[in-house]
Amino acid sequence: MGVCHCKQKNVATAKRQDLAYGDVWTWTAIDADTKLIPSWLVGGRDSEYAMAFMDDLASRLANRVQLTSDGHRAYLEAVEGAFGGDVDYAQLVKLYGAISESAKGRYSPAECIGARKERIEGNPDPKHISTSYAERSNLSVRMHTRRFTRLTNAFSKKVENHAHSVALFAMYYNFVRIHKTLRTTPAMAANVTKKLWEIGDIVDVLEAWETAN
């Protein structure tokens, strides 16, 4: 793997035993070269979830990577704990202008007026400090998963079911869906598999997992 981008996305309003009522977030990482989603997590936005997410991501990487995240402060301790000094890590902090009176109450964020790149660890290449791939990945999740639709009754009522839905999307995206620019699946581009999977293969994996557990 080369350049890995990380981002969180506000996804649903739900209840979980270890979460209060309110927002639930999906943490996602994506490899800029193969477009593979190596790790994701549905949960809160605090340091505990950040550390769990980064620990999982680090466990799935075979080589040193350049890592970019947004400016969420929980990433600082989490990346250090998961990677130590074995990472080239930077944050891209976007700067937003004031929200106009006419825009208040809308879902759209304030206008982005700039971005600041900050080296955190190692020697990240400034040309590859970006969260654009992760943001595009978030768009793919929203477009493919009905549960992310706002202002409808299609949103997830249970966090567990929402996590299952995201898992199915990630499996489909990595192994079944052919990426237009790669002309193959991300899993094949990353040499995780040699074959093009079908939906039936995912069902076989699920059945085998249920039998084993």
Q: Tens of pLDDT along 104-161?
A: 666 666 777 778 899 999 999 999 999 999 989 888 888 888 888 777 777 777 888 8
Of the candidates 91, 33, 86, 81, which has an alpha carbon nearest to the alpha carbon of residue 56? 81
Q: Residue with structure tokens 């996590």?
A: 163
pLDDT at 57: 96
Strands 66-69 and 112-121: unpaired
Quick check: 2 pLDDT over 50? no
Confidence tier at 59 by pLDDT (50, 70, 90): very high
The full set of domains in the chain, from first to last, is 3-212 (3.30.420.10)
The residue to which tokens 């052919």 are assigned: 178
Q: How confident is the model at residue 189 (pLDDT cuts 50, 70, 90)?
A: very high
To the nearest whole number, what is the mean pLDDT of the chain?
85
Q: b vs e for 171-199, b when ≥16 Cβ sit within 10 Å of the residue's Cβ?
A: bbbbbbbebeeeeebbbbbbeeeeeebee
pLDDT above 70 (res 21): no
Which amino acid type is present at position 22?
G
- Distance from C-alpha of 80 to C-alpha of 70, rounded to nearest angstrom: 15
Give me the pLDDT at residue 12, please. Answer: 43
